[in-house]
Amino acid sequence: MKASTLLLSGAMFLGVVACDTTRQQTETATQTIAENTAPGGLSSMEKNGIRLTPFNDSPKYPESQMRLKTPTSGNTVASGAVPFDYDLSNFQLTKMTGGIHAEHMANSQQGQHIHNIVDNEPYTAHYTTEFTKNIPDGQHVVLSFLSRSYHESLKHRGAYDLRVINVGSARATPLGADLAAPHMFYSRPKDTYSGNDTKKVMLDFYLVNTTLSPEGAKVRATINGTEFMLDQWLPYMMEGLPAGQNTIKLELVDTNGTVIPGPFNSVTRTFTLQP
């Protein structure tokens, strides 16, 4: 091969490397800008066109307390419609939550409410302290927590209740859930979003007996096949999701990325965006 040809090939190779390096630097700079400009000084993450941004600037209700009076923990109630009765203090059901996020996310026009989750199935929202809910016979884990009108959970200790109840026949097989162990429950997103509600969709989950940190437990969120590692227990704003059905898998994992044992610590849900 002629020397001139070798020189030309080398120059072309160096040019490709330089372009690739420039592209990588540009992508890194773009990511850095996104992280630095996240609301509240929190870092956003972006992969494959999907951006996750944590936020902690919602109205705070640190004095809010909730206590589930009935059904009592461990007791057996009759089959069918199970009556629930809560005591609340310093929290107003049906009130619209203020703040900027009420304008940018799916917001219940019925206001603030209680999320009631049975065995980590999709929650039901309740706007009164007394209601009934059909629950199959058997032993069940019930998580209740206070929610802002746009479905973001209150995460302090007094804002939730976790207990085991028995419904119907005593022959029901015990669930065997250890309520003292680490648990993760799925909350949002849920069902179908349309119009402006599709632009920013909130991801929210509930932790009991554990916390997240860069050096400790994390939540692995796989969104339409793209994986994000979450090391803060906060709600996350999702942007860049495609129209149609979307899939989220949440896993509570240890420092090695292994799912922490528990009946609810790995869950997959779908939701739909209609422009």
Percentage, residues of the chain above pLDDT 90: 77
Q: What is the mean pLDDT of the chain?
A: 87
Average pLDDT of span 187-209: 97
**In contact, 119 and 68? CB cutoff 8 Å:** no
Is residue 24 predicted with pLDDT exceeding 50? no
- CA pair distance 204, 148, nearest whole angstrom: 12
Is residue 1 predicted with pLDDT exceeding 50? no
- Say what the pTM is: 0.85
Confidence label for 34 from pLDDT (cuts 50, 70 and 90): very low
Predicted confidence at residue 14, as pLDDT, reads 38
Predicted confidence at residue 38, as pLDDT, reads 54
Is residue 114 predicted with pLDDT exceeding 90? yes
- Which letter does DSSP use for residue 224 in this model? T
Task: Name the CATH superfamily housing domain 65-274.
Answer: Immunoglobulins (2.60.40.10)
Confidence label for 172 from pLDDT (cuts 50, 70 and 90): low
Average pLDDT of span 20-49: 58
Pick the residue with more confidence: 247 or 21?
Answer: 247
- The string of pLDDT tens digits covering residues 55-108 is 999 999 999 999 999 999 988 999 999 999 999 999 999 999 998 888 889 999
Predicted confidence at residue 80, as pLDDT, reads 94
Q: Domain map of the chain by residue range? A: 65-274
**In contact, 163 and 75? CB cutoff 8 Å:** no
Least confident of 23-32, 33-42, 161-170, 253-262: 23-32
Is residue 35 predicted with pLDDT exceeding 70? no
Predicted confidence at residue 176, as pLDDT, reads 73
